[in-house]
Amino acid sequence: MKKVLSRIYLAFIFILLYAPIAVLILFSFNNSRTRAKWGGWTLKWYAEMFRNDSIMSALSNTLLVAVLSALIATLLGLMAALSLNTMKRRKRTVILSAINIPMLNAEIVTGISLMLIFIGLGQFLSRWGYMVEFGFGTVLIGHVTFNLPYTVLSISPKLRQVNTSTYEAALDLGASRLLAFRKVVLPDILSGILSGFMLAFTLSLDDFVITHFTKGPGFDTLSTKIYTEVRKGIKPEMYALSTLLFVSVLVLLLVFGRNRKGESKK
């Protein structure tokens, strides 16, 4: 009885989570310009999305910002985690709380504050004839900023599990610090680095609020493009593209997951 109830509950949650996704995937095959009516099955939006320049540029912006911001945030996060690890507890807590602000604070406030600093910076630099242009650069900085806590928090706990004496043993056996780090520490924290990167990439890919406040006119990611399109009606190509992205990530995850399972069986 209890088992049946929990199965039913799981199914309910599953439907709640996946119903909207099913709807979106359905739209991508809808042979009609509006969501309001069903016009039969079609694959044409999958072909047309590649001919839609504004969607393609939004896609490339989205992917570029996601990859770059995840890379930079992971690198900065790794450095942060390394130096946090050697700090006294109190100092570490202070710095960690500062890094955590974008994670705990409201996105809208983070977005606004970044917008204000870019404007302020622009006014400051204009005295020397420089300017801050809202666009790719400002969005990238914004994404790195909100990704940073996630990469630090993915790497830091792994680093604390590293056995200090193995690192010291490597030094003792004549390895340089860099070599000792690469050969002894890095393998132990690699999973943290990778999961930090993946988390940052995912968050960046899906971000709307920070991008909304830092992008300026003329620059769009998929999210901001969807937001502006909502009132006039979303182009069906967008559903097709999102479905394609969703499915490709799903396939990647399944392949990746299967590989990992195979490894652990060995």
Identify residues 46-65 at the interface with other proteins (CB under 8 A): none
Site for other proteins contains 250 (CB under 8 A): yes
**Interacting residues with other proteins between 90 and 119 (CB under 8 A):** 93, 95-110, 112-117
3-class DSSP state of 233: coil
Nearer to other proteins, 21 or 131 (CB): 21
What is the C-alpha separation between 145 and 102, in angstroms, rounded?
Answer: 7
DSSP single-letter state for residue 134: P
Among 61, 77, 189, 240, binds other proteins (CB under 8 A): 77
Site for other proteins contains 187 (CB under 8 A): no
**Interacting residues with other proteins between 125 and 164 (CB under 8 A):** 141-142, 144-145, 148-150, 152-154, 156-157, 162, 164
Site for other proteins contains 179 (CB under 8 A): no
Nearer to other proteins, 64 or 82 (CB): 82
Nearer to other proteins, 131 or 164 (CB): 164
Nearer to other proteins, 42 or 244 (CB): 244
Q: How far is the CB of 129 from other proteins (least distance, A)?
A: 21
Site for other proteins contains 192 (CB under 8 A): no
Site for other proteins contains 259 (CB under 8 A): no
Contacting residues for 188 by C-beta, under 8 A, at least 6 apart: 158, 161, 162
> Which ranges of the chain would DSSP assign to H, the alpha helix?
2-27, 44-48, 53-85, 89-104, 107-126, 136-161, 164-172, 177-180, 186-206, 209-214, 222-232, 236-265
Site for other proteins contains 216 (CB under 8 A): no
| DSSP H/E element including 219 | none
Q: How far is the CB of 135 from other proteins (least distance, A)?
A: 16
Among 230, 262, 264, 265, binds other proteins (CB under 8 A): 230
Tell which residue, 193, 185, 109, has the closest CA to residue 146. Answer: 109
Contacting residues for 233 by C-beta, under 8 A, at least 6 apart: 33, 34, 35
Among 16, 218, 262, 266, binds other proteins (CB under 8 A): 16
Nearer to other proteins, 23 or 131 (CB): 23
What is the C-alpha separation between 266 and 263, in angstroms, rounded?
Answer: 5
Is 108:210 a contact under the CB 8 Å cutoff?
Answer: no
Tell which residue, 80, 63, 85, has the closest CA to residue 244. Answer: 63
Site for other proteins contains 209 (CB under 8 A): yes
Count residues contacting other proteins (CB under 8 A)? 88
